[in-house]
A and B are shown apart, each in its own frame.
Chain A
């Protein structure tokens, strides 16, 4: 199979591209020329396509002979909040270009990486948040994802929508000036490799077509913002003084019972901490 991954050089995209290549399929990693291409360079079975999802012709060309598209390319927070025009152009109009290109390839499904931030600020509601929760835009990013979802659902193309929770990696991650959630807020992350697995698995399940799934880490990842940050950096062996958001933001605990058919929740939070401890030793932080 020949599979296109937009945002293919990104952190999640490169993980997905590697997974596709490992199982012997052909992966087309589509990303902007200025992306960090080191992430996919040299992986056997990966074709690099430098392009921009906002360019209709480039998207049409990239989608020409593919058996499916994983659309991950997006402007993410905090950058999305600094430039609404750019965010809508890339996240919404870029999606429109993909949809248009796939209208000419009715057999090739679109797996769209949406976000749990589409649910709005739910911190005062009863968790977990299910897929039938209303979609409420609370910033540029969530607005762009909600609009893109609407466009896909109304297009008639074969599609699967994945609302992905914040992604965690077993790496040294710099703290932003302000952590984008409250210390006492419910948060649920999901491990990057598990997300890649969920995305690929969705493509293989005909019963997933036309459906929307929450993709999050599961019960072991459900905690408060302070618990997450303290555990993460403590495992790494780094003393940090985080400053948390004073306002609630779009993070919560999510119902992932529907998405369990995708068999992706393989990394528990404790396993992440184990990996961080090993990494901390290797890097000389512990």
Chain B
């Protein structure tokens, strides 16, 4: 398992490159609307990383494991984008990243301080 900073930066970098690549090109068979939606979903996934990067729980072993999984999914997505995969394959990879983002947000929500 890699360090916290390395996983985080690698995942952010992969998502930024995927966003850049998809914004500048067109996936065969995808409409303009579908392309814009894809980019928006990717931006949400990257924002989840940015919003959570300072969280304490990410410094735990479990947090580092989750970030490592996030990094793998993000790299998978970038590979799909750069290899000019079909829109369906890119979407499959994106769904994987989104499920990691959901886990991240859910864990943070669960650990938020509640004052009665």
Contact = CB atoms under 8 A, between A and B. Distances in A.
A172 B115 contact: no
B60 interface: yes
B110 A36 contact: yes
Interface string A136-170: 00000000000000000000000000001111000
Contacts of A172: 56-57, 60, 111
Contacts, number: 54
Given A171-B111, A172-B56, A284-B64, 17 more contacts: A115-B116, A116-B116, A117-B116, A164-B116, A165-B116, A167-B114, A172-B111, A173-B56, A173-B112, A174-B111, A180-B115, A238-B56, A240-B56, A283-B60, A284-B60, A285-B56, A285-B60
Interface residues of A, number: 27
Interface of A: 11, 36, 76-77, 113, 115-117, 164-167, 171-176, 180, 233, 236, 238, 240, 251, 283-285
A173 B60 CA distance: 12
Contacts of A176: 112-113
* Chief secondary structure at chain A's binding surface: loop
Nearest to A115: B116
The bracket for how many chain B residues form the interface is 10 to 19
Contacts of B64: 284
A76 B116 contact: yes
Given A174-B108, A174-B112, A284 B56 contact: no
B79 interface: no
Contacts of B112: 173-174, 176
A175 B113 CA distance: 6
A232 B5 CA distance: 25
Chain A to chain B: the 8 pairs with minimum beta-carbon distance, closest first: A283-B60, A284-B61, A166-B115, A174-B111, A172-B57, A115-B116, A173-B113, A180-B115
Residue in B55, B61, B110, B116 with the greatest tally of chain A CB atoms within 10 Å: B116
